[in-house]
Amino acid sequence: MAVDFFNNSEVDVSLEVNGKSYEVDEEGYLADLNAWDADVANAMAEADGAPLEDNHWEVINFLREYYEEYQIAPAVRVLTKQIGKRLGKEKGNSKYLYELFPYGPAKQACKYAGLPKPTGCV
């Protein structure tokens, strides 16, 4: 990947879904949380080769609700506990979340949910 700092610009790329265009950053995260809709989530998942099913949506919806309230994605433990409540105790663990989102619940699920990527030592 070429990084050209002689030509760096604030706007990255946009993603086209059903004729609608979404601004995303270098890693494909939506630039604007409010621009999110179900179409773009489905399109992102399909591009990764794993279409979204109901249980994915439980996670995505919870992420958006949590973000709405706290302005941050939930900690992994908060997420697993909540999923356990919603989908049954046997699914309330990170192993299950990694089954749903092999690239990591925090990062992959956040992307589909239109949340910014968690930063730091995580």
Partner 1 sequence: MADNKFDTPEIREYPIIPKLQRDVMSHSKPFIAKESHQEPLGFPGELVDDWHDVAIKKMGDLQSKYRSLQVYLDSCVKCGACTDKCHYYVGTTDPKNMPVARQDLYRKVYRRYFTFAGKYFPKLVGATDLTKDVLDDWYSYFHQCSQCRRCSVYCPYGIDTAEISMAAREVMDTIGVGQKYCNEIISKVHKIGNNLGLPGPALEDTLEGLEEDVEEETGVQVKFPLDVKGADVLLITPSADFFAEPHVDGLIGYAKVFHEAGISWTISSHASEAANFGMFIGSYENMRKLAMRIREAAIELGVKRIVFGECGHAWRVAYSFLNTLAGPWDFLDQNYPIPQHICEVTHGLIEDNKLKFDKSLNDDMILTYHDSCNVARASRMGDKAGGQFVIPREVIKAVCNNFHDMSKDTIKEGTFCCGGGGGLLTDDLMELRVKGALPRMEALRKVVEDHGVTHMAAICAICKSQFAKVFPYYDFSMDQIVSVHQLVSNAIILTGQDDENDENDGENHPQQDIDEAA
Active-site residue list: 121
37, 76, 86, 87: which one contacts partner 1 (CB under 8 A)? 76
- Residue among 87 and 118 whose Cβ is closer to partner 1: 118
Using CB under 8 A as the binding rule, whether residue 48 contacts partner 1 is answered as yes
Q: Are 105 and 59 in contact (CB under 8 A)?
A: yes
Size of the site for partner 1 (CB under 8 A): 35
- Residue among 38 and 72 whose Cβ is closer to partner 1: 72
Segment near partner 1 (CB under 8 A); pick from 15-23, 35-43, 51-59, 93-101:
93-101
Query: Which are the contacts of 91, defined by CB distance < 8 A and separation ≥ 6?
Result: 55, 83, 84
3-class secondary-structure state, position 44: helix
Cα 20 to Cα 65: distance, rounded to the nearest angstrom: 24
